[in-house]
Amino acid sequence: MILYQIIVLVLVLVMIAGAVAVVTAPTNFSAVIMEGVVALTLALLFLLMAAPDVAITQTVIAAGLSTAIFLWTLRRLEKVERKEKNHE
């Protein structure tokens, strides 16, 4: 029981650190990756708390798909920024 609580505490601390890292990240890319880390840690927590249904959904959607879509959008935004710089 104590072990379980320690593991949960460590995971929560990792999540908080990850969330702070998302806000203070130097580049957008690293912010997106850190967000994926936070989502994956949350999925692990769900699994520990006996909610495998939610854990599967969290892993697939938050850690997988939305990270992919964020990265897609980010690449597009960088392209637009580069074009605007060329115009100036």
Partner 1 sequence: MNKVAALGVIVILGIFIQMALHDSNPGKGAFPEKSSSLVADSYLTKSVSQKAPAEISPGDTKLENGAANVVTSVVVDYRGFDTLGEVTILFAVAAGIGLFLKKRPHFKPRQPGTILKTLVPLAVFFIFITGSYVFLHGHLTPGGGFPGGAMMAAGVVLLALSIRKSMRSVFFKILESLAGISFVAIGLIGLYTKGSFLQNFLGAGALGNLYSAWLVMILYFIIGIKVAAELSSVIADFDQMEEGGKQ
| Interface with partner 1 (CB under 8 A) | 19-20, 23-24, 52-53, 55-57, 60-61, 64-65, 68-69, 72-73, 76, 79-80, 83
**Which CB atom, from 49 or from 69, has the smaller least distance to partner 1?**
69
CB of 86 to partner 1, least distance (A): 13
**Which CB atom, from 30 or from 73, has the smaller least distance to partner 1?**
73
CB of 38 to partner 1, least distance (A): 13
Convert 38-76 to b/e letters by CB count within 10 Å (16 or more is b): bbbbbbbbbeeeeeeeebeebbeebbeeebeebeeeeee
State the Cα–Cα distance between residues 72 and 70, nearest whole angstrom. Answer: 5
Is the distance from CB of 16 to CB of 45 less than 8 angstroms? no
**Which CB atom, from 6 or from 65, has the smaller least distance to partner 1?**
65
